[in-house]
Chains A and B, each alone.
Chain A
């Protein structure tokens, strides 16, 4: 039985350690590069008119994306209003009533499937469901498709957070004579509040940068979103349209909008992580 060379084995180990460093730096480098480009190319577009004016006709310089900013905010808020309650209640069902029921298992499996479904499919679904039937694109169709994307995220987070609440807390609330729904809502929510906020933040971060689901629902518009029953301006579809256009001014505006979206999404992502850490350190 011949011994294997220790030198060779140590060399393999050391080589692996050396190769790992540039590999790991790829991640940081790409991130820095993307952020740099977005900031460098987009900052120039973010002047006062960007935030206050409507788009000018194609080819004409000037104007802004005020309507798109408002439209994105509007639809995100609407989506949150639609998607969060359903997700919360569904999450409560899974955590409080559904530890073993067949329905709960099916729902959990299906939630995974839904989370893995490409967002463009969701957009096409809402197109078929609402746009085809009403005959026009609309902001609320856009909001619905965003809500569908938010739903599983809120559901999962709610269930996970509620599962972290110790059973003793539940039992003591029930022992005091509180009805099931009161026990859940008051006692347990208070305990899991931060986690739920995190879940909502994560869901918002997820949908605020989404383009595909809005392509066939809200479409886009050059005008103020007066009602949501019509195509609604939004930042992400604007980026898509402007980037693909031949106009330098539009392309620069696309970068400006990209910067706005990136800052928003990263801010929410960092915030939610911060809130989560805060909760974990207190727990």
Chain B
């Protein structure tokens, strides 16, 4: 074979090999879906759509329902997002617009380190340190002043839905803060000067102009944070209490899909039990897929809107 021909054969091989590796990602995702579907088949056939709405969770009777897990996942994530998003925005604005550059670097670095701390460490700290604080100080205080709300009723146990939500807040916060900070730093200085030139204060200019300018990146970050909170496992497992009851009080124990899986997967003795857990996993998988796809399309729609109808 001529040198040119063998070279182009080598190049073709190179292209094929690298393409095959790229394809692995798609194969993996497909594989996950296939395996989850296969192994939840028994549960799907037995419980049907009722699985999603049933609050039953009785391993002995072989009755399973995802409602309490879905409820717990949604509530803990909601708490985390409601607290983390405003806090993240404020911290990011502080880092970019107000803080002395040195302070900004130190605090910003600290926040990035927080993002690197593994979930299980949050779990340890949550269970042995934070839960004690919740039980001895925070929950009694909330019960005393806000106990008229069903949310804050019941004995303060330290662990439970509220604690799980707060730990999730701490885990999601660094990520959204870091991205928002980066987004705000990319706002063109002339635009900020323009806003100040018209007479806006820092707070006005940032709220009306800078945040608007970077809204695409910020929305993307919030979506990603939400997705992370949905699937967060170890930290939540440590502090949520693993109860399959739906309760109106945040002080009570609960469970999320991820925490149930972590706690019970290796205990599942019966095939129907295991299959139900697989179905739970499938629900979580589809939830996060759906969510990420929605986020992707929302953000690209924003991008098209920003470009205008040129």
Contacts and interface: CB of A to CB of B under 8 A. Distances in A.
**Majority-rule SS of B interface residues:** helix
Interface in B261-280: 261-262, 265-266, 278
B292 A116 contact: yes
B186 interface: no
Contacts of A148: 28
B261 A120 contact: yes
Contact of A151 (B25, B39, B91): B25
Contacts of A109: 296
Contacts of B91: 20, 23-24, 26-27
Interface string B227-238: 110111110011
A97 B90 contact: no
Contacts of A152: 25
B232 A118 contact: yes
A103 B29 contact: no
B125 A38 contact: yes
A77 interface: no
A30 B93 CA distance: 19
A118 B231 contact: yes
Contact of B36 (A34, A38, A124): A124
Nearest to A96: B18
Interface in B22-48: 22-26, 28-29, 31-32, 35-36, 38-39
Interface stretch (B74-82, B107-115, B136-144, B302-310): B107-115
Contacts of A87: 21
A117 B120 contact: no
A152 B224 CA distance: 16
A13 B24 contact: no
B7 interface: yes
Contacts of B284: 118, 121
Given A38-B125, A151-B24, A265 B116 contact: yes
Contacts of A150: none
